[in-house]
Structures are given as C-alpha cells and as structure tokens.
A = this chain, B = another copy of it.
C-alpha cells in the first residue's frame, strides 16, 4: 500500500476505490463545515454591520493600513475582482476608503476609516468566538492537527490548478 511518492496513474482497469475510500467524503465534509462556519460567523458579524468575507479585510488593514486590493486578495485567498467589489461595498458602507497612489497611477491604496477602526475589536471577538464554538470539545492538540491538515489540503489544491488529462 501507500503508493504515495512514485505514483503511477491508473495501474488497473478496475474502480480502485482504495484511495478514495475516505477521500471521497472530503469535499462534502469541508463544504458543509465551511457553510456552517460561515453562517455562524455571519450572524456574529452582523452586529457590527458586516458580512462574512468582509471581516478579513478589516483585520488585515488593522495590521497594515494602506494595502492595495491585489495584496488584500492574495492575503485572503480570493480573486482580485472579488476584492474590488467587496472593497467597493465596504467603502459605501463607510468602513474604508480608497486613495490613489501618488507614485504609481495603477495602484489603489485602501485605508480604514474611523468607523472601520471601531469594528476591529468586535470582529476579532466574533472570529475568535466562532472558532471557539466550533472547537468545543476538541483538545488543543486536535485543533492544531486540524489546522495543519487544513493547510495541507489547501496547498494540495492550489498547487494543482487544472486537471491534467491523460
């Protein structure tokens, strides 16, 4: 077993369910867990007038103000267009504002407003609280294991951008 490294593809004509015996359940499991997490976070975030997906922007900006949309997108793992629109909404909501970069005309710098700054603590609390609720009953070690596993599969998925046919 464990033909992990030097893997040859499709060595047998059968269904070879060996590898997929558990991995098949991975996609549904992650999807559901993320949905639940998103819903919980969304609820908690709602008190500050934010939607799930906006929290990360403020948190990152609170650490380093004046980042560009592109940088934010990379940090948050979303595509640039998503970030553009989210920033637009958050600007309309008054949490942040865009400023043109004086040096490079292509760049846009995103800055937290006073209202945005005031949400930082609440957001941190919401995210932390959701994580704690989700992790209830799990040991510290288990949480770290989960985090590590999650990071691994994320890297696996991102290093395979497209399905190589053949």
Q: Is A130 an interface residue (CB 8 A)?
A: yes
- Min CB distance A85 to B, Å, is 15
Residues of chain A at interface, number, CB under 8 A: 73
Stretch at the interface among A30-38, A64-72, A100-108: A30-38
A77-B36, A163-B44 given as contacts; is B143 within 8 A of A157 (CB)?
Answer: no
| A41 contacts chain B at the CB level, 8 A cutoff | yes
Q: Whole-angstrom distance between the alpha carbons of A52 and B137 in the complex?
A: 31
Is chain A's interface secondary structure helix, strand, loop, or mixed overall? helix
Residue of B whose beta carbon sits closest to that of A158: B36
| CB-contact partner of A22 in B19, B36, B144, under 8 A | B144
Count of this chain's copies in the oligomeric assembly: 2
Against B, the Cβ 8 Å flags (1 = close, 0 = not) of A7-43 are 0001011000011111111111111111111111101
Question: In the complex, A49 Cα to B135 Cα: how many Å?
Answer: 37
Chain B hits for A39, CB < 8 A: 157
Contact flag A4-B137 (CB < 8 Å), given A131-B23, A147-B25, A157-B36: yes
Inter-chain pairs besides A1-B125, A26-B143, A27-B41, 5 sampled, C-beta below 8 Å:
A19-B132, A22-B140, A33-B151, A36-B158, A133-B157
